[in-house]
Amino acid sequence: MADEPKPEGGAAEPGKPAAETPKAAPPKPAAAAAGGHTPPKPPAPMASTPWEGEIPGQLKERFGDQIRECAAYLGQNFLAAKPDAVIPILEFLKLEADFDYLVDITAVDYPKRAERFDLIYILYSFARNERLRLKTMIADGAQPPTAVNVHVGANWLEREVFDMFGIQFAGHPDMRRILMPEEWEGFPLRKEMSIIQQDDRWVKENLGIESGQ
């Protein structure tokens, strides 16, 4: 399947990445078999390969140790950065590396980790025809700065992340729920929320029934 350009020779065999990667954390089948959904332990357990090239070089030169990792998984490039550096990196990528299209912002919840959430920005460059993912880890209650000033389209995407995970974006012009009702309590995509769990008070007040289940 033709996808993003492979970064270096290292990712030529993405089928068996674990065998050839320096910082590969071995998969943990035991955890999965035991409980179905036990999240893996920190740090990021992905069997990624290093990503080298022009962009990681520029970024490392510019942002130094703010960049934690430049890597690729199955030929898809991503970089991990500290939360404070996210907006400057987005700005840099947009203005100086042509990553002018913010595809998506989303989050992943790892409740057992100290920095609980992965915040993920997916970017695309029309000029380069390349994608990359910018990841950062934030703790529960932390307020990462909004990306609205860099990419207008971040507005609704951040609202959805807030709605689903309860991550407040500092400086966002309109930080409200977007899909769930505004008075709803709880954040559905957090892992402690069961799939049938509801805000019973809201259901009772607005639908006049004890529970939707």
Partner 1 sequence: MPDATFLDTTELVLNMGPQHPSTHGVLRVILKLDGEKVMGTECVIGYLHRGVEKIGENRTYQQFAPYVDRMDYVAAVSNGLGYCLAVEKLLNIEAPARAQVTRIILTELNRIASHLLWLGTHALDIGAITPVFYCFREREEVLKIFENYCGARLTTHAFRIGGLQYELYDGFEEQVKAFCDMFLPKVDEYEELLTNNRIWVARLKGVGILSGDECKEFGVTGPVLRAAGVKWDLRRAQPYSGYEQYDFEIPTGENGDTYDRYMVRMQEMRQSVRIIRQAVDKIPTGPIGKTPKVIKPATGEVYVSIEAPKGELGYFVVSDNSTQPYRVRVRPPSFVNLQALDRMVRGGLVADVVAIIGTLDIVLGEVDR
Which residues of the shown chain bind partner 1 in the complex (CB under 8 A)?
Answer: 1-4, 14-15, 17-18, 25, 27-29, 31-33, 36-40, 45-48, 73-74, 76, 100-104, 106, 108-109, 120, 122, 126, 129, 131, 133, 151-153, 155-157, 160, 164, 177-181, 188-189, 193, 195
With beta carbons less than 8 A apart as the criterion, state whether 106 and 118 touch. no
- Beta-strand runs (E) in 96-207: 101-109, 117-125, 130-138
Q: Which of 152, 95, 101 minimizes the C-alpha distance to 125? A: 101
Of 89 and 150, nearer to partner 1 (C-beta) is 150
With beta carbons less than 8 A apart as the criterion, state whether 191 and 39 touch. yes
Distance CA 89, CA 7 (A): 20
Of 82 and 177, nearer to partner 1 (C-beta) is 177
Of 53 and 181, nearer to partner 1 (C-beta) is 181
**Shortest distance, position 139 Cβ to partner 1, whole Å:** 18
**Shortest distance, position 97 Cβ to partner 1, whole Å:** 15
Q: Which of 149, 194, 157 minimizes the C-alpha distance to 178? A: 157
**Shortest distance, position 87 Cβ to partner 1, whole Å:** 16
Of 63 and 156, nearer to partner 1 (C-beta) is 156
The two tokens of residue 177 are 């729920």
